[in-house]
Structure 1
Amino acid sequence: MIFLWNISIVCCLLFHIIHGEIFTSVYKLSILANEEGKLLRAFKKYIATQIRDQRSISLELQRLLNDLESAVTDSSQNPRYAENPINSFHLLGRFIYKWPVVYSNILCAECRLDDAALYLNTTYQIVSMNIVHWPGEYDVKASAQALLRLRTFYYFNIDKAINGILFDEQCQPLNPSQVLKIIRIAIDSNLLNEAKLWCEALLRILPFTSYQDENINDLAINRFLAAIYNQAGMHKKAAGVLLELTQSGYSEVDQEYEFYKNSINETDEKQNIALVAEEYDNHYKQLCRENRKSPREYSKLYCYSSVTSIPYYNAKVEIANLQPKILVFHDVISETEASYLRQEGSKKFTRSTVVRTGNYRTVADSIRISQTAWLYDGPGIAEKTTHRVGLLTGLATKSSPRFSNTEAYQIVNYGIGGMYHPHHDAFEKPLWGPPNKNDPLELIGTGDRIATWMFYLNDVKVGGATVFPNVNARVPVKKGSAAFWYNLLPSGENDHRVLHAGCPVVIGSKWIGNKWIREGGQMLQRPCDLNP
């Protein structure tokens, strides 16, 4: 059966998808990787049908199948494929730059569509519904920025990363074209030192790659490197990079060399590329890489068995910091309970937001890369785990339609290089002050967030620790554990010592469940004290 399709119908099929910020959730990227396998099977069926019926296949379609088959087979069969940021960069790139070319070649205007082509289109529509949001160029750019961010935090080896090894884990190698895209994005983001490092790595690796592109060679990469130095105010260095290339016969190189040479001003000439804020190393980044407490500080930390109001129910508690006290409760949530919170949360995910100081409005921001869902306590697991939080902390945690002791669970899944920069959980809206008008009805009049309880709902292979820069404390991600700390001093004032952050996730899919406990109802459990 053969149909003749009008261009307007094809356009409708190809471009009706709403774009979303898929890079902000590794969970959603994993769905994308799994669904890509369906697209590959439909594409291979189409090619097999054309061969069987002795129809011609364009060289472009053959090339695309060769490019896609191995990578997509891996991505769709490996459930942890998208947990590696380099793999995710590849995945998003295929959805933006390769699959649309497949469809434009098969579902083109005035194309004759046989059953195999119609099957491919049907598969496309099913996949589009399953992933909800089709990736956009913004996702590719954000995934490249995530790689740059991870490099500035964890100092991974760029040469190894390009060759497909990140923290000793195998991933898809980056071809020179993809590396150049990362370099361009670094330049656009004013991360000139990072751009220089990736350029230099590409120059080292290029002689050993089999990638063929006449536009990507030593000359082209050195021109990029010279442009980076020039943008950084190092005009003499820029001219020096191109000096040996002026005899290559390219007038553009000669013109650029003359421009850089004429821009040299000895009094103003920069000696090094100036780092921007994102590139500076600091205590926060150092804590993300490793523990920073001295042996003397560590010697004062210990573990103990904590009693509860139920005689036979004790908790395994580790002290991560003494003053202020930051505790880690081990084995306090089962795999069944954690899986329930993950599954229920995944149904309601939206881009995570931050609260703006002053107007207390919530907005999406690059300082927080994750997706969030809110789960209210109801009969079952959510209510049961909230009750357990109360047993373990000694605080009131009852949920109710008015004057609730706790907020709903905030279930969070982090994205590519997902993190949350240093922040406080408290709003500085105390119980004795005017009610926070942005609070939901059940929380109006309940005051500020007196304490934070954070369930770790799964393990993360590399990165993702919760760190407290002001007190030099670090809590690594451990499935089944929970971190607990007070956000307020006994006087009700914000405790600025518990400034904390979620470190960027390198490899893995980090899930947490936050339960914020309010001041209301805690008068007997944690009495006020004028002495902090």
Structure 2
Amino acid sequence: MIQYVLVLLLASVVQSDIFSSTAHLQNLLHLERHLVTTLHDYVDRTEVKLNEVKRYLNLFYDSYQEVLEEKVPVPGNGEDMVANPLQAYQLVKRLSVDWNTIRRAMSTDDWLPIRKLTKDYRQLMPGKEDLQGAALALVRLQDTYKLNMTDVARGNILGVPQGTSLTARDLLFLGKQSFNAGYYAHAIRWLDEAMTKARLEGNTTAGVTEILAFQASAVDMHDKLFERTDIDVSDYDTFGYPLNGTLSAHRAALASTRTRKTVKLGNGVSVHDEQLNYMALCRGETLLNPVQESKLKCYHETRKHPFFLLQPLRVEVRSLEPLVVQFHNLLTEGQTDLLRQIAEPKLARSMVQADKGSEVVSVSRTSQNAWVGPKDHPLMARVYKLVESVTGLSTDVDEGHAEIVQIANYGMGGHYTPHFDYLLVDKEPEEIQYVHPKELDAGDRTATLMFYLSDVTRGGATVFPKAGGSVWPKQGSAVFWYNLKKSGGPDTLTLHGACPVAIGSKWVANFWIREKGQIFRRRCELDPEL
């Protein structure tokens, strides 16, 4: 069964980026199980060979034991032993029969099945980049969710036991990766934990001396930030003060700005505050005041559509400005499972638009996605119709009213930093020239509806840092908002991000609805504020 699974997945997996999709990590698990089974066979065959060698050695020593113990007199220096007919017989038998048995056993290459397996599935095998990506995913989780590093080292994340723990060598590696990524305070914390674990292990996986040397370098780099006058220390990951030496009053004042005293929302917030809001919302903190929260509500809605007369929409308002709503129970468990199955063979690392219309692998988004159209499966056609009924907007892909659906799977620490979904309204004229005419004809992304195709054990929320709203994944539900105002201008309050997946697997299906075809469905307003 494992062999069959591996054959199916091989065609769809691309080298590296294994960590960015739980689907591909699952495939990697299947491969390791196959490798372990093959290794067990290798051990069994090798033990048979070793037993043959041991048997030959035992035959040799048994034949000469009495001579070696000088229980049988041997004339001369022992060369006359071959004159003994029994000794001569045993010698000929060993080299004509027993040695041939060993030779035949050793002539087979028992490592060949393992070599073939790793060669056939080399696209699945993770490389150095995957290990670095996985390590940074753990660093990201610690940074976002303020994880207790001792708990993490012992195998507990956000109160959920993981059934495994980290060695001192693991913790040292995480410290190095944190340092290389500019997380200096995090690096020092990981290294502190590595020191503790090394002592408990008795320096078996990593030595205290090795860790101390790297820790000294990390502390030195951390402290040097406070001596620089060309940077804002609050933009860096520090403890807010140098660990060695003193801190001037001026630099202390700058460092203290890292800890904010009030929550800031709206379009006027700084990028720094946007990031703080993003991380706070990911942790489940409430940024809205009681008055704002009291205006959020749940209700049933028929949209005057016959489809919803018997089973009204279950609507939960998650933000009023911009209006963000979550529709519950839109898809059944079976439908969400099928959508994941349709997408899995097509998964590839998420790309983002770069200069001159090109696309590059995203560093701000660690996920893998697949593009599925309404004609790819009968269920997709029904889902497109459902989205049209729920939103009141046209989802005709052939006419350019909507895009082909993007189904995304987020792996360990999978996230998407705060961004906007609109594509055109914020581009400069020199950038517009690289946009495909078909894209220009379809207009911008006027609205987004995103289905959650799975629950997430910990993390994975969709948050709006400027609005202070958050939506938590619930399998079968969908979140909806307009990216553009009715005047056609961008709604910058729709800045949103996907929080890192701490535990579990996150699957979503993004429906991006374009301006074309909505002229009579969402009428324009002349007021630019509307």
TM-score bracket for the superposition, by shorter chain length: 0.7 to 0.9
Pairing partner for 2:460 from 464, 469, 482: 464
Matched, 1:304 2:295: no
Residue identity matched to 1:365:
S
2:218 corresponds to 1:228: yes
Counterpart Cα distance in 1 of 2:254 and 2:175: 15
Structure number, greater radius of gyration: 2
Amino acid corresponding to residue 222 of structure 2 in structure 1:
A
Structure 2 residue aligned with 1:365: 362
2:287 aligned with 1:292? yes
Corresponding position: 1:330 with 2:325: no
Amino acid at match of 2:156: I
Equivalent position amino acid for 1:199 in 2: L
C-alpha spacing 1:235/1:192, structure 2 compared with 1 (3 Å): closer
- CA distance in 2: counterparts of 1:164 and 1:45, whole angstroms: 31
Q: Distance in 1 between matches of 2:14 and 2:333?
A: 34
- Measured against aligned partners, the alpha-carbon deviations of 1:215-272 in whole angstroms (never above 9, x if no partner) come to 512x333332222121223699xxxxxxxxxxxxxxxxxxxxxxxxxx9899899889
Cα distance in structure 2, aligned partners of 1:478 and 1:405:
27
Identity percentage of aligned residues: 30
> What do the CA deviations read for 1:63-114 (whole angstroms, capped 9, x no partner)?
xxxxxxxxxxxxxxxxxxxxxxxxxxxxxxxxxxxxxxxxxxxxxxxx9662
Paired residues for 1:101-112 under 5 Å: none
Match runs of 1:205-220 below 5 Å: 205-209=197-201, 212-213=204-205, 216-217=207-208, 219-220=209-210
- Correspondent of 1:40 among 18, 36, 39: 36
Per-residue deviation, residues 133-156 of structure 1 (Å, max 9, x unmatched): 421101111111111111110011
Instruction: For residue 312 of structure 1, report the CA deviation from its aligned partner.
Output: 3.0
Change (3 A) 1:266 1:428: closer
SS of the aligned residue for 1:203 comes to helix
Residue matched to 2:266? none
Distance 1:48 1:364, change over 3 A: same
Which residue in the other structure is 1:384 paired with?
Answer: 382
Call closer, same or farther: CA 1:122–1:526 in 2, change over 3 Å: same
Aligned counterparts, 1:169-184, within 5 A: 169-171=160-162, 172-184=164-176
- Is the 2:461–2:473 contact (alpha carbons within 8 Å) kept by the matching residues of 1? yes
Counterpart pick for 2:342 among 334, 341, 344: 344
Residues of 2 paired with 1:472 and 1:212: CA distance?
47
1:198 Cα shift? 1.1
Q: Could you tell me how far 1:325 is from its partner in structure 2? A: 1.0
SS of 2:408's partner is strand
Q: Are the equivalent residues in 1 in contact too, given 2:371–2:407 (CA < 8 A)?
A: yes
Distance 1:281 1:210, change over 3 A: farther
Contact 1:436 1:445 in 2 (8 A): no
Most deviating of 225-234 and 144-153: 225-234
TM value normalised by structure 1: 0.73
Residue 212 of structure 1 aligns with an amino acid whose one-letter code is T
Query: Which of residues 190, 196, 200 is equivalent to 2:182?
Result: 190
Over residues 117-172 of structure 1, what are the superposed CA-to-partner deviations in whole Å (9 max), with x where a residue is unaligned? Answer: 233333334444xxx34211011111111111111100111011111111222222
**Hey, what does 1:250 align to over in structure 2?**
none
> Do the aligned partners of 2:370 and 2:407 also contact (CA within 8 Å) in 1?
yes
For the residue of structure 1 that corresponds to 2:166, the secondary structure is: coil
| Residues 260-297 of structure 1: CA deviation (Å, up to 9, x unaligned) | xxx9899899889978x999971111111113222322
- What CA deviation, in whole Å up to 9, does each residue of 1:311-366 have, x standing for no partner? 3342111111122211100000122221222122111122112224x744332231
Checking the alignment, whether the CA contact within 8 Å between 2:198 and 2:204 is kept in structure 1 is no
Equivalent-residue separation in structure 1 for 2:222 and 2:186 (angstroms) = 12
Within a 5 Å distance, the mapping from 1:140-289 to structure 2 comes to: 140-171=131-162, 172-209=164-201, 212-213=204-205, 216-217=207-208, 219-233=209-223, 282-289=276-283
- In structure 1, the partner of 2:89 is none
Residue 486, structure 1, aligned to residue 482, structure 2:
yes
Unmatched 5+ residue regions in structure 1? 1-16, 58-110, 237-262
Alpha-carbon shift at residue 203 of structure 1 (Å): 2.7
Question: SS at 2:511's partner residue?
Answer: strand
In the alignment, what sits opposite 1:118? 112
Given that 1:330 and 1:480 are in contact with CA atoms closer than 8 Å, whether structure 2 keeps it comes out as yes
Q: Is the 8 A contact 1:234 1:272 kept in 2?
A: no
- Give yes or no for contact 1:234–1:270 (8 Å, CA) kept in 2: no
C-alpha contact 2:368 2:408 (8 A) present in aligned 1: yes
Partners of 1:150 and 1:504 within 8 A in 2: yes
Q: Cα gap change, 1:279/1:312 in structure 2, threshold over 3 Å: closer, same or farther? A: closer
Give deviations 1:368-403, integer Å, cap 9, x for gaps: 111111111116111100100110111111222xx3
Judging changes above 3 Å, is the alpha-carbon distance between structure 1 residues 270 and 49 closer, same or farther for their aligned structure 2 residues? farther
Aligned equivalents of 1:287, 1:226: Cα separation in 2: 34
Instruction: Determine the C-alpha separation between the residues in 1 that align with 2:299 and 2:313.
Output: 8
Secondary structure of the residue aligned to 1:153 is: helix
Q: Show CA shifts across 1:160-200 (max 9, x none).
A: 11111112222221111111111111222222111111122
Are the counterparts in 2 of residues 462 and 505 from structure 1 also a CA contact under 8 Å?
A: yes
CA contact (8 A) 2:418 2:498 kept: yes
Corresponding residue of 1:134: 125
The amino acid of 1:142's aligned partner reads G
- 5+ unaligned residues in a row in structure 2: which ranges? 1-12, 54-104, 227-243, 259-270
- 8 Å contact from structure 1 (residues 153, 281) kept in 2: no
- Matched to 1:295, the amino acid is P
- The whole-number CA distance in structure 2 between the counterparts of 1:269 and 1:187 is 26
